[in-house]
Amino acid sequence: MPKKTFHNLPTEKREKIVNAAIDEFAEYGLENASTNRIVANSGIAKGSFYQYFVDKLDVFNHLMDVVAREKIEFFKDKRPPGRNMDTFEYFRWMIKIGMEFNSAYPRMAQAASRVLFVEGLYYGKNFAGYHEQTKEALAAMIKQAMKNGEVDPSVDVGLAVMIMETWSNAITTYIVTEGMKQKDILKWVRSAKTQEKIDKMLYVMEYGLRKTESKFEKHF
Amino acid sequence: MPKKTFHNLPTEKREKIVNAAIDEFAEYGLENASTNRIVANSGIAKGSFYQYFVDKLDVFNHLMDVVAREKIEFFKDKRPPGRNMDTFEYFRWMIKIGMEFNSAYPRMAQAASRVLFVEGLYYGKNFAGYHEQTKEALAAMIKQAMKNGEVDPSVDVGLAVMIMETWSNAITTYIVTEGMKQKDILKWVRSAKTQEKIDKMLYVMEYGLRKTESKFEKHF
DNA sequence: ATAAAATGTGACCTGCCAGTCACATGACCA
DNA sequence: TGGTCATGTGACTGGCAGGTCACATTTTAT
C-alpha cells in the first residue's frame, strides 16, 4: 500500500499521479510499465515517486483499490429494472452495467483487464486474490440458480463460474479494445448494434450454438 | 525470415537454438524475451545470433513456421473416428487432437498461445495474419453446419467463429497452464478427468448453461 | 525567529537490453 | 601452400530500466 506521504497529498496532485499510472498500465501492461514515464507524465520527481510508493506493484495495487472503490460508487445507485428477475436476465443486466462502467472509465478498465485477466495468467500466482470475491459471488448466484431450476445442474458449479468469467472477460476485452477505437465510447456501447452484440454473446452462453427445435428463432 | 547461414547450420545446432527460443518465449512472452538469454541457453555467441536472424521478431516468426509445420505433420495421419460426423462432434474431435498436440509439444504451445492469443491482443495489429486461416476454416465449417441445420442460424457466422475461437483459446490456455504443473502432461490430458472437463466445456458451448426440459440429464 | 520535521528533487548507481563490429577461426579451392 | 570467403566471437555502444541518496525546499511547532 502507498505510504502516508501519498495520502497527505492534495487531491489534484494525487489524481494526476493516479491518472498517469492508469494510462501507463493501460498502454504497457504491468511488466513493461515504466516508472520513469509515470513520473514524467505526472510532473513529479523520481525521488518523490518512491516517497509515495514502495515500487511499481505498490502503485498498481493502489490503482486496483481505486478501481474497486469507483466501481462500488458506480454500482451504488444502479438497480435491476425489474423484480423477480431470472438469473440470466440478472447476469445480462450486470454485464451491461459493467460495460457502462468500462466505457465511463475506459483506461481504468483497460489497465485492469489487461493486467488481471491477460498478463495475470502467466504471472507467478499473483492477482489470484482479485478473482476470489468475484468467483465466490458468482458461485453463490449459480447455486441459487440451480436450485431454482434455471441452470443445468449437470454442469457443475465450478465450471459454470469459469464459463461466466470467460464470457465476462471476453466481452470486457471486446468492449475495451474495440471501444478505444471509437470517438465516443459510451455512445458506442449504448448503440443498438453493440448492445445486440452483447445480447447475442450472452444468448449463446445461455442456449448454446446448437440449433434446437424449442428455441429456434424465438429470440432473434 | 532467418538468413541462409541459419539454414546451413547442422540440424542439431539449429534445433538447440530453436528450443532455447521456444523456452524463452514460453517463459517470458515476446516483448520480454531476451536475445541474451536465448544465446546463452543455446550456447552460441551474440554475434552469431544476428548472423542467423535479423531480430527477435524474426526468430519468433520462424518459430511459428516450425509450429505450423509440426502441427501439419502431427495432424497428417489423424483421421476422425467416424464417417458423417456431426459438426459439433467433429469440432470436439479437432479440439481433442489439438490438445494432444499441445501436450506433445507443451512449450511450443505455451509460446504460441501466449504470444498470439494473449499479448497479440494489445500489440499494434501484428499477428492478425496468423488468425486469418483459422477463422476462414471455422467460418466455412459453420456455414455448412448452418445449412445442415446443426448450428443456430440466428447466431451469425462471425459471432459463432468468435465463440468457437474463444473456447478453443480458453481450453488451450487451461491445458497449457494447468498441464505445465503436471509431471506427465500427456497422461494428464488423456486422463478421464481432463477429457471430461473438455467435454463439459464443449457441451456448454453447444447447449448453453440454461436448463431446458429437452436436454436435462441427457448427457451427464 | 528558529529549530526540527516533512517533503521535494534529479543526478547518479547498477544492471539488462538490442544491436554492432573488428577480429579470430575454420572451410574450401587453386 | 597460400589466398579467399563464410562463419564464429565477445567486448563494446547507447539507451532505458528500477531504485538510491545527499541535498534543497517547504511546512510546522515553539
DSSP summary character for residue B118: I
Residue B48 burial (10 A CB sphere; 0-12, 13-18, 19+): middle
Q: Residue B194 CA to D1 C1' — how many Å? A: 69
Over 90: is that where the pLDDT of B121 sits? no
How far apart are the C-alpha atoms of B71 and B214, rounded to whole Å?
Answer: 39
Read off the C-alpha cell for B209. 448453461
The answer to whether residue B71 is domain-embedded is no
- Mean pLDDT of the region A111-135: 84
Do A86 and A123 reside in the same domain of the chain? Answer: yes
**pLDDT value of residue B191:** 97
pLDDT band at B206 (very low <50, low <70, confident <90, very high): very high
The answer to whether residue A67 is domain-embedded is no
pLDDT tens per residue, range A23-71: 999 999 999 999 999 999 999 999 999 999 999 999 999 999 999 999 9
Question: Per the structure, how many domains does chain B have?
Answer: 2
pLDDT band at B122 (very low <50, low <70, confident <90, very high): confident
**pLDDT value of residue B34:** 98
**pLDDT value of residue A125:** 56
Q: Which residues of A touch B177 (CB under 8 A)?
A: 121-122
How far apart are the C-alpha atoms of A87 and A47, rounded to whole Å?
Answer: 51
Q: Measured from the CB, is A5 under 7 Å from any atom of strand D?
A: no
Do A55 and A87 reside in the same domain of the chain? Answer: no
The answer to whether residue A16 is domain-embedded is yes
Do A187 and A82 reside in the same domain of the chain? Answer: yes
Contacts of B48 (CB under 8 A, 6+ apart): B39
Read off the C-alpha cell for B219. 448427457
Query: In Å, how far is A29's CA from the nearest CA of chain B?
Result: 9
**pLDDT value of residue A169:** 94
Over 70: is that where the pLDDT of B220 sits? no
Q: What is the pTM of this model?
A: 0.92
How far apart are the C-alpha atoms of B2 and B59, rounded to whole Å?
Answer: 7
Between B47 and A220, whose confidence is greater? Answer: B47
- Residue B91 sits in a domain whose CATH number is 1.10.357.10
Which residues does residue B151 pair with via DSSP β-bridges, in sequence order?
A: A210
Over 60: is that where the pLDDT of B126 sits? yes
pLDDT band at B125 (very low <50, low <70, confident <90, very high): low
pLDDT band at A123 (very low <50, low <70, confident <90, very high): confident
Chosen domain end from A15, A37, A62: A62
Over 90: is that where the pLDDT of A127 sits? no
Asked if A12 is an interface residue toward chain B (Cβ–Cβ < 8 A), one would say no
Q: Which residues of B touch A216 (CB under 8 A)?
A: 152, 154
The answer to whether residue B186 is domain-embedded is yes
Asked if B208 and A154 count as a contact pair (C-beta separation under 8 A), the reply is: no
3-state secondary structure B63-74: HHHHHHHHHHHH
3-state secondary structure B152-202: CCCCCHHHHHHHHHHHHHHHHHHHHHHHCCCCCHHHHHHCHHHHHHHHHHH
Do B46 and B88 reside in the same domain of the chain? Answer: no
| Nucleotide closest to residue B33 (CA–C1') | C17
For B28, nearest residue in chain A (alpha carbons)? A122
Do B58 and B82 reside in the same domain of the chain? Answer: no
When the pLDDT of each residue in chain B is averaged and rounded to a whole number, the result is 92
pLDDT tens per residue, range A85-105: 999 999 999 999 999 999 999
Do B14 and B102 reside in the same domain of the chain? Answer: no
Residue in B152, B200, B209 closest to A216 by CB? B152
Lowest mean pLDDT of A38-47, A51-60, B68-77, B208-217, name the range: B208-217
Asked if A180 is an interface residue toward chain B (Cβ–Cβ < 8 A), one would say no
The answer to whether residue A212 is domain-embedded is no
How far apart are the C-alpha atoms of B102 and A176, rounded to whole Å?
Answer: 30
In angstroms, what CA-CA distances link B85 with A140, B145, B169, B176, B207? 38, 11, 23, 28, 18
- Mean pLDDT of the region A17-25: 98
Asked if A114 and A25 count as a contact pair (C-beta separation under 8 A), the reply is: yes
Asked if B114 and B29 count as a contact pair (C-beta separation under 8 A), the reply is: yes
**ipTM entry:** 0.91
**pLDDT value of residue B219:** 53
Chosen domain end from A62, A92, A111: A62
Chosen domain end from B62, B96, B112: B62
Contacts of B214 (CB under 8 A, 6+ apart): A212, A213, A214
Q: What are phi and psi of A67, to 5 degrees?
A: -60, -45
Q: Residue B175 CA to C8 C1' — how many Å? A: 50
The answer to whether residue B8 is domain-embedded is yes
Do B41 and B136 reside in the same domain of the chain? Answer: no
Do A98 and A50 reside in the same domain of the chain? Answer: no
Kindly state the greatest CA–CA separation across chain B: 67
- Residue A22 sits in a domain whose CATH number is 1.10.10.60
Q: Which residues of B touch A217 (CB under 8 A)?
A: 154
Q: Measured from the CB, is A36 under 7 Å from any atom of strand D?
A: yes
Over 90: is that where the pLDDT of A205 sits? yes
Report the share of chain B in percent with pLDDT over 70.
95
pLDDT tens per residue, range A148-198: 999 999 899 999 999 999 999 999 999 999 999 999 999 999 999 999 999
CB contact under 8 A, B206 and A208: yes
Q: B163 is in which domain, residue-wise? A: 78-207
Three-state secondary structure call for residue A151: strand
The answer to whether residue A145 is domain-embedded is yes
Q: Which residues of B touch A153 (CB under 8 A)?
A: 211
pLDDT tens per residue, range B18-34: 999 999 999 999 999 99
Residue in B118, B121, B210 closest to A206 by CB? B210
**pLDDT value of residue A215:** 57
In angstroms, what CA-CA distances link B63 with A199, A214, B185? 39, 47, 22
Over 80: is that where the pLDDT of B198 sits? yes
pLDDT band at B82 (very low <50, low <70, confident <90, very high): confident
pLDDT tens per residue, range B37-61: 999 999 999 999 999 999 999 999 9
For B169, nearest residue in chain A (alpha carbons)? A166
Do B158 and B188 reside in the same domain of the chain? Answer: yes
Do A13 and A118 reside in the same domain of the chain? Answer: no
DSSP for A41-76 reads: HHT--HHHHHHH-SSHHHHHHHHHHHHHHHHHHHHH
Asked if A77 and A96 count as a contact pair (C-beta separation under 8 A), the reply is: no
How far apart are the C-alpha atoms of A107 and A95, rounded to whole Å?
Answer: 18
| Nucleotide closest to residue A54 (CA–C1') | D19
Do B39 and B105 reside in the same domain of the chain? Answer: no
CB contact under 8 A, B166 and A163: no
The answer to whether residue B67 is domain-embedded is no
Over 80: is that where the pLDDT of B120 sits? yes
Do A119 and A36 reside in the same domain of the chain? Answer: no
